[in-house]
Amino acid sequence: MAVSKGLQTLKFKDALVSTVDKPIATKELISRLQDLHNELSSLDQDKVDLKSLEEIKDSLINKKLLKHSNSGVQAFCACCLADVLRFYAPDAPYNASQLSDLFKLFFSQFKQMGNPDGPFYHQQTYLLTRLAETRSIVLITDLPNAETLVEQLFDIFYDLASSGTFSSKLEPLVCEVLSEVIAESSTIPTKTLKLVLNKFLANTMVMKKGNTTLPGFKFTLEVCNANADKLSRLLTQFFSETIYEATKGKENEDTEDDKQDVSALLAQLKKLHTLALELWKYVPEMLSSAMGLIENELDAEDEKIRITATETIGKILAVKQPRLNFAAAHTDTYTNWLKKPLDKSPHVRSFWVKSAVQVVNTNPDLAAELAGGLIKTLVDSDERTRLTTVRELSNVSPGVFVSRLANKSIMSTLGQLIREKHAEIRSSCLQLLGTLYNTHFDDIYKEDSVTELLGWIPDDVLKLVYINDKTVNAQVDHALFELVLPFELDDAKRVDRLLTVTEHISEKGRNSFHAIVKRQPQMAKAVSQLLTLADMKPADEVASKIDKLINWLVASFPESVDCRAALKQLVKLNNKRYFKLIRLCSDIETDYKTIANCTKELFGKLSELKNIKVDGEPSVAPHDMLFTVKLLVYRSSVIFYNQSNVGEILRISKDLAHPHNVAAQDVLENISTVVPEVLRANISTLTQEISLGEPVSVKDLKAIFQFGKKFPEVITTQNSDEYVASLKRLAVRGSPAEAKYAVRLLGQLPRTAARNAAVAALVDEIWPLDPVKDNFNTCLATVAELFLTDLALLDDKTKEISTLLASQILLRNSTIGDDDDDDANGWIGPDELETSKDCLSKILAVRVFVNWLIAVETAENAAQLAEPVLKLLTSIIGNGGEIVSPKTGTYPTPKKYQARLRLEAGVKLLKLARYSRYNFLIQQDLVNKLVLLIQDENDHVRALFMAKLKKNLTLGLISERFYALVFFIAHEPHNVLREDTKTWVRSMHKRKLKANKNELLFEKSFVRMLSMLAHHQEFLELLESARTTSDYTAVLSFALTYIGLALDLIANTNNVSLLYYLASRMKQYRDRLTPELSGNMYLVSDLTQYTIKALAKHKNWSLATWPGKLSLPGDLFESIGDSARLHELAVQSFIPESAARTLDELVRDRTRHLAGTAAAATTDRKRPHTDEKPRTAKKPVVVEPQRRSSIQRAAVNYNEDDEF
């Protein structure tokens, strides 16, 4: 090779183009081209004398070579031309036409690269390598047919990639070539752009199918990453045009064809969004401009476009580990997307929720920012959005939910949604909260943050029972049995969880829990009867009994599921295995593990249609069957209080150092009340401890007592001398509570000589009673119980006891109160009461008197004995607990003592009312005084007395005349107590009507309440003031509060005429209690009639004349026999004309509240009246000074303390 002036010159001199004179054989031509190729490939690009190439470059571009029929000629020619371009770079030694032909030759060679075994594959590879190294390929971008060439180039290589035979080793070269072309092209053909971008769309399909590679996708990635800025502009233009078409289409959807076009355009728009998502995953920089267009779509008028944009941005945010921070790179778009929970369309809001949850699951770091929006959708006005939010939140990993998403607001909102009226929302929310609680149980009550978020869940779930709705109760059951306290075969873990849950629920929640476990015996009995009948031979009588039992069972089941059909089909299946499994579950003697295994097998089988089909019968859905049987089994099985749990609970109750010791004692106490049968195996352990003189808790004593009430024969066997001696010792030297149950246990024993001698010795030991002794209260507690168990031993001591308790305990104070003490809400709790000797002495004194009366109820002189006791209780209540005279020198009684004492008097009065002999002696004026306790100034007194009142009424222990008292909750300042009582009234009213559709209990109680209202001390004072000042606003408003509450709770379209009738009938009677105050009663009657009329109008109720005839309660009302007087009362209004406007406004406001809608104007409604003659003012009636209620608004703990 010659070198001139430091430059290399081409040595090759042979001709390459055939002529007529000098033809060149193909084989020779190939040989020459191969030699040329070898020489050219060895030359350095920057050291070649271009003049030496002049001849050869022209020969190579000759069409005889470019279009030669021999593949080898074309291959070597292409290689040589590639080197020529390399030497002349960056300029080309050819014109546009020649370059166009040259690249067509190159392209033809590229097409053959799909065959690695081709004879000229090496040359084609060389060609590609040279073009990539020298970037000569960019010359096509300057040619007139550049777009065509670019299209061809991309098509060739993408086709090669799809062929499956293209070498992956060459892909980097192709990527480099294609990237250079895109970079240098002034315009990129739309077809080529689509080819590149479509790979992103195709890749989504490949990934969904589980494949890992997509042919050509690597080309697309490299091209886009290398030209992100340029392609970003093109992408934006592409998006704009498509969105414009979509928007344009939406404006003209008049015809069916137009609607189809619009649908197609929207589909195209979704493809663009899918493309945007894929670009974000792989080349997020390309979306720098296009994202603004998607942001605009968030505010588009069309709902579907907004949904698509919302979904897309959500998916983009859900991409794991993106190269860019979306919120930082596209702040405006992100901010706008966060506002979608406020979109006008509920569908958009729902789709935002779904997107947000996806983001939370994949990128938990964003959860805190999304929480605000999710709170908004949880309280959305549209129930579908609320439901979607709860369901989607259920898809969040519990760990992520608690650690990243949950906060006080979200959990509080979820807590409210479990009371949602929409059943699906409530159910989904319960499932979500239950799952969170179950998953994180091990951390709850150990980590403050987790406890704050989740610790309240069981309590709020259990409180739902108070709603008294069948569907809600079923949902509570499923949440409780499957999530809060799910099956756990490890005894220690299971009991630990049970005690942990019970010790962290409120009194209200605990009462609900007790109610749930308490229903088991009755349900188990019904299930047993049903299965027994199902085993009998078919007969009409059997079928009738089965139907009645099924109807009874499903009466408490939700109506949303066809439970009746499910139970009927279960019976028809007559599957002995199913029956056996259900029997085992509902048998109180079945151990826990057996129940767990039975439920697992039973539920599994019933969930399959093939296992529940009955030939020739309509099929019941597996869901309905499983739902019904689950509910049946959960409610009839002893799961929580199973005998397998008792041993561990008992062990913990004895371990004073155990953190669950108190909870274990509480549970054990409840077990002894609800299912004492499960204690049978362990009761001897407790009695043995007593016999040995070992320490026992009050709750253990109570458990033995409750067990003994149901199984006295078992306790009888424990009648050992040591057992009796230990009980006697507790009755003398134990605490007052221990003494109480010790005497009760002695009372359960057979009256053997040894037992009687021990009790007689006990009396001798505590006698005489001495207030100075340290064990005085223990002795009092013992005496109180001895009246009920061994009255004869105290017969000769009653006078001495009465004198002592009255003169030294109740009418004197050992502890003197402070005159300046203004803490009306002060209280002595049950624990403190044990150490407050003087206060406890007074309470025990009251208990002694009441137990004495109970013991002598059947005696001839019972009424005579009761008179001073009832007077004592009346005095305590009427005087606010202060019955100590200032003259004694021990005045005043401490405020806390007074509160405790008046509560005790009220509770004991209710207890005496259980006995017909004493109920007869409790006159209405004494019942009226109980209103003072319902409206007591002390929060604890109000709450605890109302709890006792409701309990006695619910169980039917006291007369129905006490029902009227509950309406005086109207002024209760604490919403919880007021709403609980209102719920109770509605529930009882519904229950009574269900039992007897003609039941008029609450209607009669309503008229009783009106009479009591007319005697209410505050009403009397306000009325007196009104008559003095002629301003009736206060008294009318006061009375309307009670009337309105009562109507709100019991009035309906069926009984409104009766209520009106009863109110009007009051004017046909005079006040029996205070005849001279009958005018006050008539005023209340007129006010009530006016209110009922207004309410009926606003509720569109028909107020017809009630067809029946009812007499009003004789103990309150005295009939008027004078017909002239009756007529006069009927037409006379006892509400002064001057108060008409005030009355109209007050009633209108009250009925608007009761009707739940804006009330129509009632100013044009005339109040019935007659021309009233001037009346001579009556002499004021002298009324004994009475204690007035003074309700203070303060926090209160509504725990109902049992007697110690």
At 117-129, the pLDDT tens digits run 889 999 999 999 9
- pLDDT value at position 614? 83
Query: Mind listing the pLDDT tens digit for each residue in 1053-1089?
Result: 999 999 999 999 999 999 999 999 999 999 999 999 9
Structure tokens at 313: 């941005």
Q: Are residues 903 and 987 in the same domain?
A: yes
The answer to whether the Cα torsion of 766, 772, 778, 780 is positive or negative is positive
Residues 1040 and 1055 sit within 8 Å (Cβ to Cβ):
no
Interval 87-133: pLDDT, tens: 888 888 999 999 999 999 999 999 999 888 889 999 999 999 999 99
Burial code (b: 16+ CB inside 10 Å, e: under 16) for 293-313 equals bbbbbbebebebbbbbbbbbb
405 vs 696, higher pLDDT: 405
Indicate whether 490 and 534 sit together in one domain: no
Whether 1166 shows a pLDDT value over 60: the answer reads: no
113 Cβ contact partners less than 8 Å away, ≥ 6 residues apart:
121, 124, 125, 128, 160, 166, 167, 170
Count how many domains the chain has.
5
Mean pLDDT in residue range 689-704: 85
CB of 878 closer than 8 Å to CB of 898:
no
| Cβ-contact 473, 557 below 8 angstroms | no
Say yes or no to pLDDT of 549 above 90.
yes
pLDDT band at 240 (very low <50, low <70, confident <90, very high): confident
- 8 Å CB contact between 457 and 433: yes
Q: How far apart are CA 376 and CA 390, in angstroms?
A: 12
Whether the per-residue pLDDT at 1183 is higher than 50: the answer is no
DSSP one-letter code for 48: B
- Average pLDDT of 287-308? 89
pLDDT at 691: 84
Q: Name residue, tokens 């299209």.
A: 151
pLDDT of residue 1098: 87
Between CA 137 and CA 646 the distance in angstroms is 87
Nearest residue to 1012 via CA among 918, 906, 931, 1129 = 931
Q: For residue 1151, is it within any domain?
A: yes
Last residue of a domain, one of 610, 640, 670: 640
Say what percent of the chain tops pLDDT 70.
93
What tokens does 862 get?
A: 């019972």
Domain match, 502 and 574 both? no
Instruction: Tell whether 188 and 159 lie within a shared domain.
Output: yes
- Percent of the chain past pLDDT 90, that is, above it, reads 61
- Binned at pLDDT 50, 70 and 90, residue 1165 comes out as very low
**pLDDT band for position 811 (cuts 50, 70, 90):** very high
971, pLDDT greater than 60: yes
Interacting residues of 43 by C-beta distance below 8 A, sequence separation 6+ = 8, 10, 83, 87
Residue 786 lies in a domain: no
Range of the domain at 1092: 1001-1155
| 827 and 971 housed in the same domain | yes
Task: Write down the number of H helices and E strands in the chain.
Answer: 59, 4
Q: Is the peptide bond before 90 cis (omega within 30 degrees of 0)?
A: yes
CB within 8 A of 129, min separation 6: which ones?
173
Q: Distance between CA 429 and CA 415 in Å, rounded?
A: 8
Q: What is the pLDDT of residues 471-508, one digit of tens each?
A: 999 999 999 999 999 999 999 999 999 999 999 999 88
Domain assignment present for 1025: yes
Task: Encode burial over 860-879: b for 16+ CB neighbours within 10 A, e otherwise.
Answer: eebeebbeebbebbbebbbb
* pLDDT tens digits, one per residue of 589-599: 899 999 999 99
Same domain? For 542 and 561 the reply is yes
pLDDT of residue 50: 85
Contact 941, 905 (CB under 8 A): no
The predicted-structure confidence for 595-623, as pLDDT tens digits, reads as follows: 999 999 999 999 998 898 887 778 889 99
In a domain, 255, yes or no: no
C-alpha–C-alpha distance, residues 842 and 784, integer Å: 12
CATH of the domain at 483: 1.25.10.10
In a domain? residue 702 = no
**Is the domain of 442 the same as that of 468?**
yes
* Residue 983, C-beta contacts closer than 8 angstroms, at least 6 positions apart: 466, 467, 468
What pLDDT, on a 0 to 100 scale, did the predictor assign at position 819? 76
- pLDDT at res. 727: 92
pLDDT tens for residues 657-677?
899 999 998 998 899 888 888
pLDDT given for residue 1201 in this prediction: 36
Find the mean pLDDT for residues 545-566. 92
* pLDDT of 1199 over the 70 cut: no
Whole-prediction pTM: 0.77
716 pLDDT higher than 70: no
In a domain, 733, yes or no: no
DSSP state for residue 1016 in the 8-state scheme: -
Assess whether pLDDT exceeds 80 at residue 252. no
Domain end marker among 207, 237, 253: 207
The answer to whether residues 961 and 1095 belong to one domain is: no
* Co-location of 981 and 1019 in the same domain: no
**Quick one: 625 and 598 in the same domain?**
yes
Q: Do 962 and 1009 belong to one domain?
A: no
Average pLDDT across the chain, whole number: 88
What are the angstrom distances between the C-alpha of 428 and each of 400, 479, 494, 660? 19, 10, 26, 32
CB 310, CB 358: distance < 8 Å: no
26-35, 392-401, 691-700, 1137-1146: range with highest mean pLDDT:
392-401
Of 866, 851, 753, 861, nearest to 794 (Cα)? 851
pLDDT for residue 1180:
37
Residue type, 1026: A
Confidence of residue 155 (pLDDT cuts 50, 70, 90): very high
Examine residue 447 and state whether it is found in any structural domain, yes or no.
Answer: yes
Q: What is the structure's pLDDT at 565?
A: 93
Q: Three-state secondary structure along 1064-1115? A: HHHHHEEECCCHHHHHHHHHHHHHHHHHHHHHHHHHCCCCCCCCCCCCCCCC
CB atoms < 10 A from the CB of 1049, how many? 21
Whether 323 maps to a domain, the answer reads no
State the pLDDT confidence band at 1114, using cuts at 50, 70 and 90: very high
Closest CA to 461 of 481, 489, 442, 491: 481
Q: What is the pLDDT of residue 619?
A: 82
**pLDDT band with cut points at 50, 70 and 90 for residue 855:** very high
Dihedral-angle region of residue 890 (phi above 0 means left; psi in -120 to 50 means alpha; beta otherwise): alpha
Please tell me the predicted confidence (pLDDT) of residue 248: 60
pLDDT tens, position by position, 759-798: 999 999 999 999 999 999 999 999 999 999 999 999 999 9
Q: Is the peptide bond before 712 cis (omega within 30 degrees of 0)?
A: no
Instruction: Name the CA radius of gyration of the chain, rounded.
Output: 46
Helix 1140-1155 and helix 1033-1050: axis angle, to 10°? Answer: 30
Judgement on whether residues 991 and 1063 belong to the same structural domain of the protein: no
Residue 297 corresponds to which tokens in the numbers above?
Answer: 């779509």
C-beta neighbour count of 148 within 10 angstroms: 13
- CA-to-CA distance for 30 and 25, rounded, in angstroms? 9
Q: Which of 461, 492, 515 is the last residue of a domain?
A: 515
